[in-house]
Amino acid sequence: MSQVTFKNVSKEFKVNKGVSSWAVKDFNLQINHAEFVSFLGPSGCGKTTTLRMIAGLEENSHGQILFDQDVVSDPLQKKFLLPEKRNVGMVFQSYAVWPHMNVFDNIAYPLKLKKMSSQEIKKDVMAILDLVELAGLENRKSHELSGGQQQRIALARGLVMKPRILLLDEPLSNLDAKLREKMRKDIREIQQRLNLTMVYVTHDQKEAFQMSDKVVVMNQGHIVQVGSPQEILNNPVNEFVADFVKN
């Protein structure tokens, strides 16, 4: 049973009267439980839009998106589950750490909304802080921390809510090379330890191949190739993939 299913999903933008452009077109994909899937492609290929459609931050204009067997978005049935009801975690490229809350409050926020008791919240937050190696920093002002630490707060906030799926939108692109290398390993390790489904958006082929179970190569709103890193490296379906993968 797949955890997220895309059936002929498209996202259309009306540019002018009668003229439209497609951010994503005829997207079909299954994302399985506990799988690490990367969307790989040049900027503007539709990978972030696809990710935001899983979160419910964008609404697809055609097709269906399913979580397990449940339809979460289908414009024909006028069905659309709001992002706050989806229990999906997300790590943003810009971190999106709330500057007016300290580290603890940032991470505790989703739990407070679930009306958990403050003791439970404390226990869960502390456990997650350990996991992302931020233990001891819970009372610090979040916007005073380094970029790498802020990214860990964002990761912790996404994990603490025990999401059905965690989405990561180029989370490492603002970090320096050395830190990026360590974060890649840490994220993959956490994913395997928690047996969590993750969807990861990147334009860095090395990153995608190093971390993923499945890589989805995209270009101009279309899927070009889906497969394990090995398959794609050994058998690129066309020149675009071969060229993109080569470097």
4 binds other proteins (CB under 8 A): no
Locus of tokens 């975690």: 89
Which pairs from 210-215 meet CB under 8 Å and 24+ separation? 210/184, 211/36, 211/38, 211/184, 211/187, 212/36, 212/37, 212/38, 213/35, 213/36, 213/37, 214/31, 214/35, 214/36, 214/37, 214/38, 215/37, 215/38, 215/40
Q: How many residues bind other proteins (CB under 8 A)?
A: 31
Query: Which CB, 56 or 221, lies closer to other proteins?
Result: 56
82 binds other proteins (CB under 8 A): yes
Apex CA 36: angle with CA 241 and CA 191, to 5°? 145
87 binds other proteins (CB under 8 A): yes
Q: Candidates 51-59, 117-125, 180-188, 228-236: pick the segment binding other proteins (CB under 8 A).
A: 51-59
159 binds other proteins (CB under 8 A): no
To other proteins, the closest distance from the beta carbon of 230 in angstroms equals: 33
Among 57, 66, 116, 226, binds other proteins (CB under 8 A): 57
Positions that interact with other proteins (CB under 8 A): 52, 55-58, 82-90, 92-96, 98-100, 109-110, 113-114, 143, 154, 157-158, 161
